[in-house]
Amino acid sequence: MLSRKTRLERAKYILARLEKLYPNPPIPLDHSDAYTLLVAVLLSAQCTDKRVNLVTPALFKLGKNPKQMAQQDVADVLEIVRPCGLGPQKAKAIVGLSKILMEQYNGKVPDDLEKLETLPGVGHKTAQVVMAQAFGVPSFPVDTHIHRLAKRWKLTKGKSVLETERDLKDLFPENKWNKLHLQIIYYGREHCTARGCDGKTCEICSHFA
């Protein structure tokens, strides 16, 4: 692994380039509040954001808040979310977490990482996305794009997403985390795809080649 000094120099260059390419990266999942964001992020596991955005209008028409969703049959939710993959698990989780939010949190999504992680279907990455994008708490959710690029750019050994998260938090300023995680995602989708860049092709990779 490269020295921390070298990785910091790389991080500085990457941050500067991404700021120019994506000065105001939008949140890719359509939502109106913390609850709809939570559900959308849950649905995005092993599914594209584009497909999630096609599914959620019908889902939120069925239930746009925990109170409404908690009253739905899992089968009805499954009928809508099936195109997102892992339909049975996701439908059960959506209804289940909605019931918990009503019973334990007065129908509100908690702005607490540990509490979020106890909800059905909500893992560490999902909880971090909600903390960052719904509540503005500095977080660095690591998805497959970020994990892949961080390893490709030699910012981390990339043995696990948690290791990648730790290494990136060490290299980048905390006040940049929430925005930067979106910037890296967009760059990975548009310029440094898994098959479209061999680690030497895109602008950032070629700079380090």
**Alpha-carbon dihedral 11, 167, 200, 46, rounded to 10 degrees:** -120
Q: Is the pLDDT of residue 47 over 90?
A: yes
**Could you tell me where in the chain the CATH 1.10.340.30 domains are found?**
34-133
Q: Is the pLDDT of residue 83 over 90?
A: yes
**Could you tell me where in the chain the CATH 1.10.1670.10 domains are found?**
4-26+139-208
Cα–Cα distance for residue pair 73/48, rounded to 1 Å: 25
Q: How far is CA 70 from CA 15, 63, 91, 97, in A?
A: 42, 8, 11, 8
Encode pLDDT of 163-204 as tens digits.
999 999 999 999 999 999 999 999 999 999 999 899 999 999
CA nearest 76: which of 99, 94, 51?
94
Residue 154 backbone zone (phi > 0: left; psi -120 to 50: alpha; other: beta)? left
Cα–Cα distance for residue pair 149/205, rounded to 1 Å: 9
Q: Is the pLDDT of residue 74 over 90?
A: yes
Specify whether the CB–CB gap between 138 and 146 falls below 8 A. no
Q: Is the pLDDT of residue 28 over 90?
A: yes
Per DSSP, 175 falls in state G
The stretches of the chain forming alpha helices (DSSP H) are: 4-21, 34-43, 49-62, 66-70, 74-81, 87-104, 113-117, 124-133, 144-152, 161-171, 177-190, 203-208
Cα–Cα distance for residue pair 17/22, rounded to 1 Å: 9
| pLDDT given at position 95 | 98
Catalytic-role residue among 143, 154, 169, 179:
143
Known catalytic membership, residue 73: no
Total residue length of the chain: 209
| pLDDT given at position 171 | 97
Mean pLDDT of 15-39: 97
pTM of the model: 0.94
Tell me the pLDDT band of 31, cut-offs 50, 70 and 90. very high
| pLDDT given at position 124 | 95
Known catalytic membership, residue 143: yes
| pLDDT given at position 177 | 98
Tell me the pLDDT band of 145, cut-offs 50, 70 and 90. confident
Mean pLDDT of the chain: 96
CATH number assigned to the domain covering 34-133: 1.10.340.30
Tell me the pLDDT band of 119, cut-offs 50, 70 and 90. very high
Mean pLDDT of 150-159: 93
CATH number assigned to the domain covering 4-26+139-208: 1.10.1670.10
Tell me the pLDDT band of 144, cut-offs 50, 70 and 90. confident
Residue type, 133: Q
Q: How far is CA 94 from the centre of its chain?
A: 17
